[in-house]
């Protein structure tokens, strides 16, 4: 059975990252964009990361330019924007596709595990979020309009659950 540990991705600096490095942690996986109405959610995501990282929580940000061309920059520009404007310190990855034939395998799996509204699999917009438990399995999916602060209870529950 696949889990978060089954995948790898390129970091925003171009290094290959085995996602097994997050095994045993609770992860919030988010497709992000720098020029979106939801971009201020970076503040809330960073706040969650800082608050819970010592308890085994991480946020994994995956820039995506599939929605309204709202992530047009290079990886270097994205990293500069995120660290300068929002002081992001959680892991960021290279730009990926989350929908279509070129969708990253991680997102193919996430969408299969937790469908969206009315059973749709496709990611509808930037800042869709997936909460993954310590066992590497997808617990919940949240739409773009769900503010990071609204996830606290679910994150706390996931952190309190025993790892498999």
Catalytic residue from among 9, 32, 36, 103: 36
**Are 159 and 57 spatial neighbours (Cβ–Cβ below 8 Å)?**
yes
d(CA 20, CA 62): 16
DSSP assignment of 89-158, as one string? -S-BB---B-SSTTB-HHHHHHHHHS--GGG--S--STT-EEEE-TTS-EEEEE-TTS-GGGGHHHHHHH
Is 82 one of the annotated active-site residues of the chain? no
**Are 30 and 64 spatial neighbours (Cβ–Cβ below 8 Å)?**
no
Please give the positions annotated as active site: 36
């Amino acid at each position: 059975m696949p889990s978060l540990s089954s995948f790898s991705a390129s970091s925003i600096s171009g290094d290959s990252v085995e996602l097994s490095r997050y095994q045993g942690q609770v992860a919030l996986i988010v497709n992000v964009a720098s020029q979106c109405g939801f971009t201020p959610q970076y503040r809330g995501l960073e706040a969650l990361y800082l608050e819970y990282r010592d308890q085994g929580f991480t946020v994994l940000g995956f820039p995506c330019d599939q929605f309204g061309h709202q992530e047009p920059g290079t990886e270097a520009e994205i990293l500069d924007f995120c660290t300068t404007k929002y002081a992001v310190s959680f892991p960021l990855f290279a730009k990926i596709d989350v929908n279509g034939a070129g969708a990253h395998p991680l997102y193919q799996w996430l969408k299969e595990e937790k469908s969206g509204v009315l059973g749709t699999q496709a990611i509808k917009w930037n800042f869709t979020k997936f909460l993954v438990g310590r066992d590497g399995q997808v617990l919940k999916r949240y739409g773009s309009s769900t503010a990071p602060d609204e996830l606290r209870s679910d994150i706390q529950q996931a952190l309190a659950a025993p790892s498999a």
